[in-house]
Amino acid sequence: MVNPAANDSTNVSLGKFKVGGYAYAAPLGTALPTDSESALDPAFQIIGYLSEDGITNTTDTNTTEVKDANGTTVMKVISSYAESYKFMLIEFLRKAAAQLRYGDNAVTGADKKMTIKHQMPDDTPVSLVFEIVATGNVKDRIVIGSSTRSEFGDRQMHSSDVLGYDITVAANDMGDGVTSIEYIGIPKG
C-alpha cells in the first residue's frame, strides 16, 4: 500500500499524444466528452498532426490590490482570468486543418486539393479535444468547449521548415467561468 503522505514516483509522467489521432475539432454545440475514455461524438473530426512543440496552455490573470490608509496591502484578489492554447497544425494539406485556421467558409475542396481564401479571420467558436497518454497508459483528455481563433503565427515557406498553421485559440467560458476541462483516468480493464 502506498503511503498518501509520501512522494510517489508513479505520479510523475511524460505526456505523449495518442497514436492514431489526438487533435479534434467539432462545431459548437456538439456533445462534449465527460470523461477520459468514452468515444467522441462523430461530429469531432481529426485536425491532424501537431508540430513537435505540442500544445502550450497559457493563463492570464489580473489582480486587484486593496490598500489601507497607510498604503499597506491588506488584500490581493484575482480579478480576471483567461486561458489560451497555442499549437501548430502540420498537416498543411488536410482540409480540416485549413478550416480551423481560416474558417469553414474560406476553404473549399478536399484534402490535397483545396482553395483557401485568405481573409478576415473567422471568429465562429469551435469545440476542441486533445488526447494525451501519460506514463503508465493514463489518459489525459483536454476539452475546450468553446474556442475562438485569437492569434496566428507567421508562416514561412522554404525547404527546411514544415508548412503548417500556427494558431492560438482563446478558451471561452463554457459556463460557470470554466474555460476548459481536463479529464485524467486510467482506462478500465
pLDDT for 44: 97
d(CA 55, CA 20): 17
The cell for 28 is 459548437
Q: Give 161 or 114, the one with higher predicted confidence.
A: 114
For the stretch 33-70, what's the b/e string if a residue is b when 16 or more beta carbons lie within 10 angstroms of its beta carbon?
beebeeebeeebbbbbbbeeebbebeeeeeeeeeeeee
165: left (phi over 0), alpha (psi -120 to 50) or beta: beta
Q: Give 148 or 80, the one with higher predicted confidence.
A: 148
d(CA 67, CA 75): 7
Question: What confidence tier does 179 reach under pLDDT thresholds 50, 70, 90?
Answer: very high
pTM attached to this predicted model:
0.89
d(CA 138, CA 11): 10
Contact 2, 104 (CB under 8 A): no
d(CA 121, CA 103): 7
Segment 12-40, tens digit of pLDDT = 888 888 888 899 999 999 999 999 999 99
pLDDT at position 127 over 70? yes
Q: What is the DSSP string of 118-142?
A: --SPP---EEEEEEEEETTTEEEEE
Question: What confidence tier does 1 reach under pLDDT thresholds 50, 70, 90?
Answer: low
pLDDT at position 57 over 70? yes
* DSSP code for 14: -
